[in-house]
Amino acid sequence: MTQLAVIGGSGAHALLSVKSFGSHKTVPSQKTPFGSVSDIRKYNVDGLRFLFLPRHGADGYHVSAPFVNYRANIWALKQLGVERIISWSGPGIINPEYEVGGFVVPHDIIDQTRNRPSTFFEKGGLGFIRMKHPFCVELRHSLIYSMQTAGLRFADKAVYCCTEGPRLETPAEIRLYHSYGADLVGMTLAPEAFLARELEMCYAPICYLTNFAEGIVPRVFQHGVLFEGMLDPEEKKRVDEAMDKMPGIIIGALDAIAGHGRECDCKDAMSRYKKRGDINDQWYTWIDP
């Protein structure tokens, strides 16, 4: 059974098109209680085996963040035997100490989404799970180790604020999120991280920073270009360079943790309900589809 997976965010289709992870085999379409998932690929990089699921589509950015079927994606990976997931996201910058094109390993998250199904447990009274560490501590360490080994500059902590989208945020919203303590703003890590925890999977994100959020730096509105002028040409170049480094970072992190048993709390997220007799070890019986 495959135990490692990557959920690719913005730009995943571009990396796949140039075979940044090498050749792959296509995984048969997975049927889940929440719909089918058909874009999963299987990779073997020098003996390191993992699955890759492009969040927004394998052939282009076809599904925007609010409309991703997060429950189907996480369920499909679980039934394929995945225990650990590294995802990537390209958020905007709220904290001006960070730089466009830089890397961040977030340690916390604020969920500002509104309309996304955010739990598997719509019935049964399950799901009261502690979120002291919303992202797996062990996976975060593997990402940090990978970037340290590669000699990359990065921040090892940040609070990620996840918004509904697909529109970008207003200046007033950014000021609000800043007052909450958010460093980054994006649209993809919630409910993805929470769903993984409900199925006792490890999950941690790596972020490459794509632009300053609205109102952080003054930018002239430009029609018909990416983000309508929030990203200047030099910054765009740095973002592209960061994206090119993403496969190496992820492979390094997966390689660092492959073969090591899980000692984190993620694997025991539902233990209280198991002890109480509400559920058993057969995870696929935990919901009533």
* 167 sits in which H/E element: none
d(CA 158, CA 185): 10
Range of the domain at 73: 4-271
Mean pLDDT of 176-203: 98
User: Across residues 274-289, what is the average pLDDT?
Assistant: 92
Query: What confidence score (pLDDT) does residue 16 get?
Result: 77
Q: Is the pLDDT of residue 1 over 70?
A: no
In a domain, residue 282? The reply is: no
Mean per-residue pLDDT over the chain, rounded:
94
Specify the 3-state DSSP secondary structure of 12. helix
pLDDT tens digits, 35-46: 999 899 999 999
In a domain, 281, yes or no: no
Burial label for 175, CB within 10 Å (0-12, 13-18, 19+), is middle
The DSSP bridge partners found for residue 41 are: 26, 52
Looking at residue 54, what is its pLDDT?
Answer: 94
Look at residue 2 in the predicted model and tell me its pLDDT: 59
Asked if pLDDT for residue 183 goes beyond 80, the answer is yes
Q: Kindly report, residue by residue over 144-168, the tens digit of the pLDDT.
A: 999 999 999 999 999 999 999 999 9
In a domain, 284, yes or no: no
Residue 278 domain flag: no
Lowest mean pLDDT among 128-142, 200-214, 218-232: 218-232
Mean pLDDT of 30-55: 95
CB atoms within 10 A of CB 127: 17
Pair 52, 88: CB distance under 8 Å: no
Does residue 266 form part of some domain? yes
Does 287 score more than 90 pLDDT?
yes
Could you tell me which residues are beta bridge partners of residue 159? 108
Residue type, 121: F
**33 is a domain residue:** yes
Length in residues, the chain:
289
Q: How many domains does the chain have?
A: 1
Entry pTM:
0.96
The mean per-residue pLDDT over the stretch 74-102 comes to 97
Q: Would you say residue 11 lies in a domain? A: yes
CB atoms within 10 A of CB 55: 22
pLDDT tens-digit map of 197-221: 999 999 999 999 999 999 999 888 8
Measured distance CA(164)–CA(189) in Å, rounded: 11
| pLDDT value at residue 19 | 82
pLDDT band at residue 229 using 50, 70 and 90 as cut-offs: confident
pLDDT at 58: 82
CATH number for the domain that contains residue 259: 3.40.50.1580
Identify the H or E element spanning 142. helix 137-149
How large a percentage of the chain has pLDDT more than 70? 99
Confidence of residue 289 (pLDDT cuts 50, 70, 90): low
Tell me if 276 is assigned to some domain. Answer: no
